[in-house]
Amino acid sequence: MKNHIQEPIKKMSKIELITFDLDDTFWDIKDTIINAEKNSRKWIEGIIGEEVNWGTFEDFMRIRAELAKEDPSLEYDLGMLRKKIISHHTKQYFNNKKEFDAFVNDAYIFFLEERHKVNFYDDVLLVLEKLSTKYKLGVLTNGNADVNKLGIGHLFDFSISSIDVKSNKPDQGHFCRAREISKVNFEDTLHVGDHPINDVLGARKLGINALWFNLNDANWDLDENPPIQFKKWSEFTNILEKNYGN
């Protein structure tokens, strides 16, 4: 295995804005989605009055891919994608379009509520509270989690999702919108996220500083310049001060 040299300390950057990914950065998304899916299916079957043939996980991914192929906007509009998936599995149980549309909307609202039942990683909230007194904070997410529904909206100056910019990270839409809103240059911005490509490389490509939340100690093999990383939120403040303190 090659020996990599960690990204050098960038004391020359005066960080004014810190942006964050959400899913798998502030909480584990796998368990959250599994529970939301399970509870939503139970709710749907309760309304319909019988079991629905949901198919396998592979079936779910195939249907999702087919829908996105038919309508590319579903790649970034997760709300509409979810409604389309609900419709696919339940349309046979309805004859009245108005009732069906109302049902799909209610089912989506239920799923969204379940999707927001997250368990924050240790120390996330404590760190955000502290940072919010010193920096501008923003959210850049490819998902559809809403910081206001999570009760942490007051800690952020803005939140940008894929539907807002009609694209997904690592495309530049989220990052450019953050600069537009905050009026902070890329070189004075720090982006924090778990995804090596969507978060780290997406930010770096634009000259944005990046911190990698590497919970599972994954190897960095995308280039010869590993990003500064951390695996516990209790480490974040010290790493921030060490590498970007002014």
Q: Give the pLDDT confidence of 29-61 residue by residue, as tens digits.
A: 999 999 999 999 999 999 999 999 999 989 999
pLDDT at site 245:
79
Q: Which residues of the chain have pLDDT under 70?
A: 1-13, 246
Q: What secondary structure does DSSP assign to the chain, as a single string? A: -PPPPPPPP-TT----EEEE--BTTTB-HHHHHHHHHHHHHHHHHHHHTS------HHHHHHHHHHHHHH-GGGGT-HHHHHHHHHHHHHGGG-S-HHHHHHHHHHHHHHHHHHHT---BPTTHHHHHHHHTTTSEEEEEESS---TTTTT-GGG-SEEEEHHHHTS-TTSTHHHHHHHHHH---GGGEEEEES-IIIIIIHHHTTT-EEEEE-TT-----SSSSPPEEES-GGGHHHHHHHHH--
pLDDT at site 223:
93
pLDDT at site 208:
98
pTM score, whole prediction: 0.91
pLDDT at site 5:
39
